[in-house]
Amino acid sequence: MEMTARELWTALHGMGFGALYLLACSGAIVEFWRRYAPAAATPATTGDERFLRIYFAVLAALAWLAVLTGTYIVYPWYRAAPPPGTTDLSGFPQRLLMASPSTIGWHSLGMEWKEHVAWLVPISTTMTTAVFFRYGRRLKDLAPLRNAILWMLLGSFFAAGVAGFFGAMLNKHAPVQGGTTIHFAGGEKP
Amino acid sequence: MSAQGSSVEQLPNGSGAAALLAAGVASFTLAVLAIAADQIAWVKSAMIFYKPTGPLSGVTTSAIVVWLVAWLVLEARWRKKTVALGRICTAALVLMALGLLLTFPPLADLF
């Protein structure tokens, strides 16, 4: 069982940070609403607040790790230009997608949207974390602020969903490959 | 007045409003810079801060700088104040929504 270094970084970016963000963000939205809504059946305790502070900080860290690894590690491999005369475009995902009318949309719509919209995620998640650290349980009494950060979190979840969906589809149609091969395990002979 | 009510009164809402509005401004700025880098040749080359990543490096770095500066300025002005939260929240959410919409290529290409 082998993976290349580029495949490993792509998996870390998409599944390690991106997918975990999506999972954690859905939990944050539910928990935030459940504990801080005006008619919350179970109001937040000091312990809940401490837990949510750590949770939001981890959420923001995941968002930053996802966009930074995506933009500065995986994306340069995706957009690398092939040397003149190259006929095998498998090592140049962007050019591979652009070479066929049936796949060009994955780049011109998918990647073009994903690469920008994903950056709204760490911005809104960091803001949410900062506001939560500042106000904590008092957000229950600050309705416009509480509702606005809930909407920001929903927007962030949507943006991360767009980035995650297109990331998965792009990697399906034109995987980022190459680099050092990492050997994990040997299989049994059939 | 209840203890909870006085704690709200003691803590001005300005910091929260500053953080929220700065995030909205950053989202909108990012979308505008992305459109400009796509449509205007000199902006595109000016946005290449890191060659392997291309204009995306400048678009995102500039938006982050705008965000942090806006946040610092607003925080300094509103930290000890209670501001009109309703209007600021609406403005921030509209800017965030515009950021989401304007990064969508079919809409961005209209400009």
Mutate to test the interface with A, among B7, B9, B27 (most CBs of A within 10 A): B27
pLDDT tens digits for B97-106? 999 999 999 9
In a domain, A12, yes or no: yes
Which residue ranges make up each domain of chain B? 15-78+91-104
Q: Can you tell me the ipTM of this complex?
A: 0.91
In a domain, A187, yes or no: no
Residue A119 has pLDDT above 50, yes or no: yes
Q: Give residue A73's domain range.
A: 2-79+92-174
Chain A neighbors of B12, CB-CB under 8 A: none
Mean pLDDT, rounded, of chain B: 92
H/E stretch holding B98 reads helix B85-102
- Half-sphere CA count of A85, side-chain side, radius 13 A: 0
What is the count of structural domains for chain A?
A: 1
Rounded to two decimals, the pTM is 0.92
In a domain, A179, yes or no: no
3-state secondary structure of A174: coil
A105 touches chain B (CB under 8 A): no
In a domain, A111, yes or no: yes
Closest residue to A141, CB basis, from B8, B17, B108: B8
In a domain, A55, yes or no: yes
**Cα dihedral angle (B61, B63, B66, B70), rounded to 10 degrees?**
-130
pLDDT tens digits for A135-186? 988 888 888 999 999 999 999 999 999 999 999 999 999 999 988 998 888 7
In a domain, A84, yes or no: no
User: Would you mind telling me the total number of residues written for chain B in this entry?
Assistant: 111
In a domain, A75, yes or no: yes
